[in-house]
């Protein structure tokens, strides 16, 4: 099992990695009477992955993570070197879901008003009017968010948590769905402002976009040689296959997915295990535990089940928790990573049966 969620790109997932075909004995709740995850809705979201695959090669795990974030009304931190199709991924996802998307390039001189909007004086009416910023969209791509000062980074906090912005004391609601997809370059930190733990904790998932495998990279070049233009998604065959109504119905079904108390306890024990790790100075907070519950329920629903298993929790532990822990300096010097710590915790926590 890889660190990120992986699913077949052309069909809805039948089960998460290592998931048993039937619920384990001892504690799985009965599904609500008459409730079963809709095949139609799951197929619609599988079609979204298929549409994204027409433009983006070899990033199926990231696509699945973004779909989970939309189902959970969460936000995503994307980490990858330049040139692995982060912007193209977001644009294609928005096109396949009929959602609006905007991109903000975060720079050291970017001001909070450049993101949220500001009051502008209209000389014709002698009044101030509000000019909405790029945050008023469905999918906001915050490119290289760690290149802007903390003052501007914090301007996103209210938007991410409250789904509104306040200008001149007046709150203004953001559209629904609203998803912040922030990117970071993992290899270049000179001149950057690392996100504080309080802001990192606001992101539901941290997804890594690795460099493609050789065959995937050959396919990328083959598409470009055949005339693929990343600025013309329609020519690549990308078309809308779902919309906000599909997302709303899917979210309602995810909320009906049942979780046994034993599985709740397992998720809590995993999070508490990070707080006891000698390699960490900061473990997962209760907010992180609720995020793990939310993503596991969405993954169970995508897998066609009306209940969560411990394997669902395991499958989402890395992308949900990796950015919520902080390594001790001595552990970093020894080569310990957040991934290895989470692997150790998952191996040490007893799995309910």
Identify the CATH number of the domain in which residue 102 sits.
Answer: 3.40.50.300
Residue 344 forms part of a structural domain: yes
Supply the range of the domain harboring residue 266.
Answer: 257-353
Average pLDDT estimate for 156-162? 85
Residues 198, 280 within the same domain: no
- Of 224, 255, 286, the position where a domain reaches its end is 255
Q: Is the pLDDT of residue 24 over 70?
A: no
What residues pair up with 76 in beta bridges, in sequence order? Answer: 181, 205
What residues pair up with 342 in beta bridges, in sequence order? Answer: none
Residues 75, 188 within the same domain: yes
DSSP 131-175: EE-TTSSSEEEEETGGGS-HHHHHHHHHHHHHSEEEETTEEEEPP
Residue 351 forms part of a structural domain: yes
Question: In this prediction, what percent of the chain has a pLDDT beyond 70?
Answer: 89
Average pLDDT estimate for 65-92? 93
Average pLDDT estimate for 47-51? 93
Q: Is 237 left (phi over 0), alpha (psi -120 to 50) or beta?
A: left
Residue 25 forms part of a structural domain: no
Residues 167, 271 within the same domain: no
Residues 247, 268 within the same domain: no
pLDDT attached to residue 238: 93
Residue 127 forms part of a structural domain: no
Using the CB atoms, write b or e for 38-57: b if 16+ within 10 Å.
Answer: beebbebbbbbbebbbbbbb
Average pLDDT estimate for 142-168? 86
Residues 249, 277 within the same domain: no
Q: What is the DSSP code (8-state) at residue 82?
A: T
What's the structural domain count of the chain?
Answer: 2
Question: In this prediction, what percent of the chain has a pLDDT beyond 90?
Answer: 63
pLDDT attached to residue 2: 40
pLDDT grade for 197, boundaries at 50, 70 and 90 = confident
* Contact of 88 with 264, CB cutoff 8 Å: no
* Chain Cα centroid distance, residue 235: 27
Residues 319, 173 within the same domain: no
What residues pair up with 211 in beta bridges, in sequence order? Answer: none
Residue 163 forms part of a structural domain: yes
pLDDT attached to residue 29: 53
pLDDT attached to residue 28: 54
Residues 224, 310 within the same domain: no
Q: Is the pLDDT of residue 4 over 60?
A: no
Question: What global pTM score does this model have?
Answer: 0.86
Name the packing angle between helices 244-254 and 60-72 (round to 10°): 80
> In this structure, what token pair is assigned to residue 27?
């504690």
Residue 338 forms part of a structural domain: yes
Residue 120 forms part of a structural domain: no
Residue 13 forms part of a structural domain: no
- Of 234, 255, 276, the position where a domain reaches its end is 255
Q: Which residue has the higher pLDDT, 119 or 9?
A: 119
pLDDT digits (tens, 9 = 90+) for 252-308: 999 999 999 999 999 999 999 999 999 999 999 999 999 999 999 999 999 999 999
Residues 101, 229 within the same domain: yes
- Of 255, 275, 309, the position where a domain reaches its end is 255
Q: Is the pLDDT of residue 6 over 80?
A: no
Q: Is the pLDDT of residue 70 over 50?
A: yes
């Amino acid at each position: 099992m890889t660190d990120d969620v992986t699913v077949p790109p052309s069909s809805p997932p039948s089960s998460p990695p290592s998931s048993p075909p039937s619920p384990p004995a001892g504690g799985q709740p009965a599904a609500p009477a008459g409730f079963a995850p809709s095949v139609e809705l799951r197929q619609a979201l599988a079609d979204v992955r298929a549409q994204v695959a027409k433009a983006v090669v070899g990033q199926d795990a990231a696509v699945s993570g973004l779909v989970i974030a939309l189902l959970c009304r969460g936000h995503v931190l994307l980490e990858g070197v330049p040139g692995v199709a982060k912007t193209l991924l977001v644009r294609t996802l928005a096109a396949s879901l009929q959602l609006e998307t905007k991109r903000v390039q975060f720079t050291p001189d970017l001001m909070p008003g450049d993101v949220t909007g500001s009051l502008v004086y209209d000389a014709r009416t002698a009044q101030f009017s509000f000019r909405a910023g790029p945050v008023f969209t469905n999918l906001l791509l915050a490119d290289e968010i760690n290149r802007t000062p903390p003052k501007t980074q914090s301007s996103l906090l209210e938007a991410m948590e409250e789904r509104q912005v306040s200008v001149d004391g007046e709150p203004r609601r953001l559209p629904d769905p609203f998803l912040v997809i922030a990117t970071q370059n993992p290899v270049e930190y000179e001149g950057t402002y690392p996100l504080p733990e309080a802001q990192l904790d606001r992101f539901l998932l941290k997804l890594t976009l690795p460099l493609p495998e050789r065959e995937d990279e050959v396919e990328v070049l083959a598409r470009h040689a055949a005339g693929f233009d990343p600025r013309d998604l329609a020519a690549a065959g990308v078309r809308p296959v779902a919309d906000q109504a599909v997302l709303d119905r899917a979210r309602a079904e995810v909320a009906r997915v049942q979780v046994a108390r034993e599985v709740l306890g397992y998720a809590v024990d995993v999070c508490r295990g990070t707080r006891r790790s000698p390699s960490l100075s900061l473990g997962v907070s209760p907010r992180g535990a609720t995020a793990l519950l939310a993503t596991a329920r969405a993954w169970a629903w995508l897998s066609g089940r009306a209940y969560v298993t411990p394997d669902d929790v395991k499958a989402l532990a890395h992308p949900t928790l990796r950015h919520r822990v902080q390594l001790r300096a001595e552990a970093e010097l020894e080569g310990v990573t957040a991934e290895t710590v989470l692997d150790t915790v998952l191996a040490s926590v007893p799995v309910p049966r």
